[in-house]
Structure 1
Amino acid sequence: MLVRIVKMQFAPEAIGDFQNLFEKNKKKIRYFEGCRRLELYQDQKNPNIFFTYSYWESESHLNAYRHSDLFAEVWKATKAKFSDKAEAWSLNKLVELD
């Protein structure tokens, strides 16, 4: 299982637009082939900072998404709202305890 974490920072006036964009596209992303889970977080101390966590069956599934029309459309619209450069990490999930 691969976990993709993306940190994004928005101008305060762009937060609502980003949240609407995420709401509009979250199911399309979540049900893209190979995506097993999608989460959105907002920083408690700085509400301009958001994180997405997406869980993928493999790197090839993530890469298929990253090369899709869906990603191109959503990322272009999201990136236009950034107030700082995004950061991203791809991690191998090793342990999960419930």
Structure 2
Amino acid sequence: MNALGSKLKALTRLRCEIFQTSYNPQNLRTGAKYLRKHLRGPAMVKYYPEVISLSSIAREFPKMGIVDPVEVQRLADVEDKKRRGKGTPKKAKTKADSRRTAKRR
């Protein structure tokens, strides 16, 4: 029985060499299944094409002087909110400036 087992192992090893598969007699987890899988990235790039907008063209060619009216309106709204005191809070420069530490005291 032992001679037959060793011949089967040798046959399996030879088969793996011929067909270029991994020889794994202990059946350890190798992750080969996931490495053989097709990558998702290229398919996703094909599915979601690059969106061309006025703002992307303006960013790519700044010398043309293209103005995106949506972006201009957004910046005006942000400035208006800042003037009314509704803008984003300032970032804490030190730990003492943090609102969280101010509440604990």
TM class, shorter-chain normalised?
A: under 0.3
Please identify which structure carries the higher helix content. Answer: 2
- TM-score, normalising length from structure 2? 0.23
- TM-score, normalising length from structure 1? 0.24
Which structure has more relative contact order (CA 8 Å, sep 6+)? It is: 1
